[in-house]
Structure 1
Amino acid sequence: MSKSRMVLSSFFVVLFLLFFVALWSRKNNEHSLIRCAKCNVLFISVDTLRADHAGFMGYQKNTTPNIDILASKSFVFTNTRAVSSWTLPSTMSWFTGVYPSRHGVTNKIVFVGNKEASASISLTAPNLTTLAQVFQSQGYNTAAFTGGAGLNHDFGFNKGFQTYKDDVDFAGFSKTGPQTIQWLEKNKNYPFFIFLHGYDVHGQHIPEGGYDKRYVDFLYTGKLTGDKEEQKQLREDGLEKGSVYLTKEDVRFLTALYDEKINRADSFLGEIFSYVKQNNLDQSTVIILTSDHGEEFYEHGRIDHGNTLYDEIIRVPLVIHIPNNMPEKNNVPASGIDLFPTILDAIEIKTQNIENQFNGISLFSDGIKKRKTQFSETQYRYAVDIKSVVKGDKKFIQDEDKQKHELFNLFLDPREQKNVFQSFEKNEDTIDLNNTINQILQ
């Protein structure tokens, strides 16, 4: 064999080996991550966005074209569950890395003796450090632009933020997006951590100018309009009575309005993504996009969210964009408690004392592979006290107030329609799921 052929053969052997090393690395995601040391962080919450209504999660309607582009360049965690089914406790778990029952902000009010007080984390868990406090201690400029209401600063969400906007309740990205860009115009040349939130998809938010009904069946002749008061009444009826009456056409109508709101939110976020790119921030900014909870559309006889823990309410999208990484879909059992440690890991901020605080774990760590369960809870308005745990394809729901238990096989019954608890009450797996809840709450 000639020398040139030997060199060429050696080249292809090396190339072949490099290919398989890269392939192996992609299968072991903790080795494939290229971290973005001390990068900026833009944390986006699309309030009330359920996972199965996003295009990149397989939805057939083109509701999220701009988010889909971001997802196509990012880590997408396809098996993510919120720790609660409404904004207040779920978001506080993002900011603290602990379960709602530990941070204590599980309702808007708490009882101190015989008196009521706002459920501020400064009162319920004053020793917990927040995500924004860590960024501030690292020299970042910190700012939050929110839709208020469940994210009002009275609950302590402003802890660690130098700028915290919450002046309009149930505001959407049409309000918080321009606020973010205006702030960035003054701060983009300095390290920043931004929390950007919008209620665009929430039942208490109506698009500016009203609905254009882009997804509504023009043959709909029902009585529903989709206004805020109507949505509020449907929620209250479901909470009080346990169910409401709607026709299939009504449900399709409400779902179509929901999809329109998602699509409008996506358009506003497209402007944010364009700003980041046009100002050359895309190579120095980690972007997290997720939701605090989903929304129920009569799958279990109700509309809205908060008072149950079925998957239509707790399955949420999670996109993490870290510059210079290959896109990857991952089905590890992710949770809202993981975002705090994951963000710090992605930008190489190490704070040992804070890590001891977490219930969660970085989604890029070796340890995430060992996780078997996802836990959620809601004590919505003190009207319910429900816990759930998912382990593999089994889901167990414990309703303390009603002394009701539900068990679902998510592989055979992904819509959670057939409760098999009575048939498997004494089963070893069922007992294990119940014990798991008790262990988490200890």
Structure 2
Amino acid sequence: MAIRAVVEGVRAGVVVGAVLALWSAAAVWGDVEGLGASYVMAAYGLLGMWQVLYGAALGVVVAIALGVCRRMGLWPLSEALERGEVDRRVAAVLLSAPVMLAMIGGGVLGTHLIVTSKMVRVSFQALGLGLASAGLAAGALVVSPLVYGGILWLLQRLGMRGAWTRLVAGVYGLGAVGTLVVGYRWAAGLSVWDSATLQMGVAGVALVPVVMWAMVKVPLVSKGWRWGVPAVGVVLAFVCGALAPGWALSSAAMRQATLRDAPLVSMIAPRLVDVGSQGGDAFAFGDCEEGEECADERAVVALTSAEHPARRAVQLAVAAGDKAQNDRFEAIPEPPKNLVMILVDTLRQDHMGYAGYERPTTPRIDALAEDATVFLDAYATSPHTPRSVPPLLFSNYASEMMWWGAQYNYPRVRPENVGMFEVLEAGGWRNQAFSSHFYFDERRNVHQGFERWDNEGALSIAESNDDIAAPRTWERLEPVIEQLGKERREKGDEAEPFSLFVHFFEPHARWIGHKEYDFGRGETTRERHINNYDSEIAFTDAYVGRVIDKLKEEGLYDEVVIVLTSDHGEAFNEHGHYFHGQTLYNPVIKVPLLVRVPGWFGRQVEGPVSIIDVAPTVVDLFGLTIPTEFGGRSMTDVMLGRAEVPERAVFSELLPYTNWKEHHRAVMLGDEKLIVNFTLGLEEYFDLSVDPGEQNNLARERPERVKALRALLEERMQ
């Protein structure tokens, strides 16, 4: 009987695994060309293996229950339950179990809320909860006879002979169904997984016990069905499971289906398939481990090349002379020699008022935009901070910079890189930075060129996710602006030029709603996330306004160039992901870029630019020589309306790192965009002029454009 129960569970797992594999194949067969029987086998290996184990586990549970019933003389169970005392005792056992679990769970939760949540170290919290769990479990065992006795006494008083066990079992069944329904609705409300994935997940949980029950009710006597199906199914499940990682990487179609597009399969496969070697060596140069002797491994450029440093220096010098002559001829007001650069973390441009967003998230930034040059198509170099902030400050893509530990989550910038604030420092500027976040620790070495790098109050990376850092940053920044205003009033034009770099961490996740900027709760989890994100933007916008107001109060507003930008945006499941750092779609790489120069007309500029263009633009505005090491382009002529945004390719990179080992790169040229996923061997081509949301991949329809843009991308990589 016990063996039969286990075999029935295995058989049910085999059947359900096959159903899920065919379901998954049907969902992607028409969308992904080039799939064959190997996909069905891979899907069965990835799904069926777990269903077989699940079915076997259910079979073991049933076998144990049957064994207990036999030993206690309760078999056949239906006949035993006709005896009133047996019925009440079984029902009392079934009711006691959840009561005991509720006691333990409630006690652990209460212990955490009252005691361990106040412990600073996570390890202490875990130790405290472990001890509490052990103590509560021991206490539950001690009081379990009392709970069982109390429930049994109550059932005896209530009567109803021979019906209690069936009633309790029915309630359990309804509870299980209700839990599945509520769980499905909750998961659907998150808008993280597509409906097919959720339906398959529910089916995977619910169908195995249903199929087991059906097989008991309608038994088939065929030996092939009873023993052959489970035996063959188990062998196929584990053989296909072992071969599935290789099949998943065997072709572009298989990689696309198993690792990205197939419902449910694409959730399981990335955890079992090692794709690390598929992306190539994204850091082929410029990287070394800390403590090693680091060689400059940048490619040697021929003297005859336009990119040779000497030739570039001459070109930049000639361009600077021409610009100065044109400025005098056109009577262009000379920019003031002071800078305020505001970096708002995780700020996507399409959630800002000046970009057409319907909510009042950025009234102060919108006012700044009215008399600033607004670049409407500015791109971050990476979808996350560690490989976007350094390119902003050092004017080179992350793959072209020199690092210590480039492959880790938080690589360190090597001092060989030349930064914008180092150039300003050499020109006589006093540079001060104000932040309060884990990343801006001096160990990252992005503080080159600053006389003051104030990151006071920074928390750990885990703690920073729930942090509200802007008030701390502003508290230290405000008196500095007051002091600079005082110096300007006392010394006039003799005051030393200064720059302020200000980082506001909000609206980085986890998003926290602020009562004074309430956009509602929202009907779905996704809406709640967006509402809280918008609230964070509005909260930060108010602090940007405080900076502007203080500059005006101190008479400095028209004495500074103001640059406002972000290191990356944020995704809300437009392409299957929340947060950032996983893809190169526009929600996570298209960022605001505003440059206000007093006396210059405000204008909006279309055409792709990169945040690596910020440094050469600032240096050019101040009349300094743009270093040949900078990879960006000055946009001052564009700001003055003398030129359009240059027709050149702009790039963004998702380079493999410890927590996300995929390698993607994107190239933007005019309204065209190509994303190449090197890890999976996939290409996505978008025409942004008609598809700004990047929903229609035209790679198959326009192979010649894909080839041309990929050539630009590969040329840059070389």
Task: Specify which of 327, 339, 343 is matched with residue 45 of structure 1.
Answer: 343
Question: Structure 1: which 4+ aligned runs deviate by more than 6 Å?
Answer: 28-33
CA distance in structure 1 between the aligned counterparts of 2:328 and 2:665, rounded to whole angstroms: 31
Task: Specify which of 355, 374, 385 is matched with residue 87 of structure 1.
Answer: 385
Amino acid in structure 2 at the alignment position of 1:121: V
User: Which residue is equivalent to 1:360?
Assistant: 632
CA distance in structure 2 between the aligned counterparts of 1:33 and 1:42, rounded to whole angstroms: 24
Q: 94-103 or 196-205, which moves further after superposition? A: 196-205
1:300 to 2:575 alignment:
yes
Contact in 2 for aligned 1:143/1:163 (Cα 8 Å): yes
User: Which residue is equivalent to 2:614?
Assistant: 339
User: Which residue is equivalent to 1:138?
Assistant: 427
Query: Per the alignment, in what secondary structure is the counterpart of residue 300 of structure 1?
Result: coil
User: Which residue is equivalent to 1:197?
Assistant: 503
Contact in 2 for aligned 1:35/1:348 (Cα 8 Å): no
Deviations 1:25-79 (A, max 9, x none): xxx9999894544511000011111010011111110111111111111111111
* % identity of equivalent residues: 28
Contact in 2 for aligned 1:362/1:368 (Cα 8 Å): no
Contact in 2 for aligned 1:213/1:256 (Cα 8 Å): no
Q: TM-score, normalised by structure 2?
A: 0.49
1:320 to 2:595 alignment:
yes
Query: Per the alignment, in what secondary structure is the counterpart of residue 402 of structure 1?
Result: coil
Shift of 1:80: 0.9
TM alignment of 1:411-422, pairs within 5 A:
411-422=689-700
Query: Per the alignment, in what secondary structure is the counterpart of residue 421 of structure 1?
Result: coil
TM alignment of 1:413-432, pairs within 5 A:
413-424=691-702, 427-432=703-708
Q: 1:33 to 1:285 in 2, by over 3 A?
A: farther
Contact in 2 for aligned 1:199/1:205 (Cα 8 Å): no
User: Which residue is equivalent to 2:141?
Assistant: none
Deviations 1:397-420 (A, max 9, x none): 111111121111212221111222
Deviations 1:336-386 (A, max 9, x none): 1100011112222224xx1x1121101123776433322100125342211
TM alignment of 1:54-65, pairs within 5 A:
54-65=352-363
Deviations 1:119-165 (A, max 9, x none): 2212xxx3221111111111111111123223322111111111112
Shift of 1:326: 1.5
Query: Per the alignment, in what secondary structure is the counterpart of residue 557 of structure 2?
Result: coil
Q: 1:261 to 1:136 in 2, by over 3 A?
A: same
Shift of 1:428: 2.3
Amino acid in structure 2 at the alignment position of 1:439: E
TM alignment of 1:169-188, pairs within 5 A:
169=459, 170=464, 172-188=469-485
Q: 1:319 to 1:37 in 2, by over 3 A?
A: closer
Structural RMSD (CA): 2.5
Q: 1:368 to 1:128 in 2, by over 3 A?
A: farther
Task: Specify which of 381, 384, 388 is matched with residue 666 of structure 2.
Answer: 388
1:284 to 2:556 alignment:
no
User: Which residue is equivalent to 1:101?
Assistant: 399
Q: 1:32 to 1:312 in 2, by over 3 A?
A: farther
Shift of 1:185: 2.8
Shift of 1:301: 1.4
CA distance in structure 1 between the aligned counterparts of 2:357 and 2:631, rounded to whole angstroms: 32
More helix by share: 2
User: Which residue is equivalent to 1:240?
Assistant: none
Query: Per the alignment, in what secondary structure is the counterpart of residue 657 of structure 2?
Result: helix
CA distance in structure 2 between the aligned counterparts of 1:40 and 1:213, rounded to whole angstroms: 32
Q: 1:399 to 1:78 in 2, by over 3 A?
A: same
1:66 to 2:342 alignment:
no
TM alignment of 1:113-262, pairs within 5 A:
119-122=411-414, 126-167=415-456, 168-169=458-459, 170=464, 172-188=469-485, 189=487, 190-204=496-510, 206=512, 214-217=518-521, 220=523, 249-262=524-537
Q: 1:274 to 1:48 in 2, by over 3 A?
A: same
Amino acid in structure 1 at the alignment position of 2:555: N
Q: 1:37 to 1:267 in 2, by over 3 A?
A: closer
Amino acid in structure 2 at the alignment position of 1:293: H
Deviations 1:138-197 (A, max 9, x none): 111111112322332211111111111223144532121221122223344242111100
CA distance in structure 2 between the aligned counterparts of 1:132 and 1:88, rounded to whole angstroms: 18
Amino acid in structure 1 at the alignment position of 2:501: F
Amino acid in structure 2 at the alignment position of 1:214: D
Shift of 1:104: 4.2
Deviations 1:294-339 (A, max 9, x none): 1001101111001100001111111100001111111132111100
CA distance in structure 2 between the aligned counterparts of 1:337 and 1:118, rounded to whole angstroms: 19
CA distance in structure 2 between the aligned counterparts of 1:71 and 1:314, rounded to whole angstroms: 20
User: Which residue is equivalent to 1:223?
Assistant: none
Contact in 1 for aligned 2:561/2:596 (Cα 8 Å): yes
Query: Per the alignment, in what secondary structure is the counterpart of residue 562 of structure 2?
Result: strand
Q: 1:370 to 1:152 in 2, by over 3 A?
A: same
Amino acid in structure 1 at the alignment position of 2:423: V
Contact in 1 for aligned 2:346/2:569 (Cα 8 Å): yes
Contact in 1 for aligned 2:616/2:632 (Cα 8 Å): yes
CA distance in structure 2 between the aligned counterparts of 1:267 and 1:376, rounded to whole angstroms: 30
Query: Per the alignment, in what secondary structure is the counterpart of residue 558 of structure 2?
Result: coil
Q: 1:178 to 1:33 in 2, by over 3 A?
A: farther
CA distance in structure 1 between the aligned counterparts of 2:643 and 2:654, rounded to whole angstroms: 27
Contact in 2 for aligned 1:37/1:348 (Cα 8 Å): no
Q: TM-score, normalised by structure 1?
A: 0.78
Task: Specify which of 414, 427, 437 is matched with residue 713 of structure 2.
Answer: 437
CA distance in structure 2 between the aligned counterparts of 1:104 and 1:85, rounded to whole angstroms: 19
CA distance in structure 2 between the aligned counterparts of 1:180 and 1:360, rounded to whole angstroms: 29
Shift of 1:213: 6.7
Deviations 1:245-297 (A, max 9, x none): xxxx2211110110000001011111110000111101210000111111001
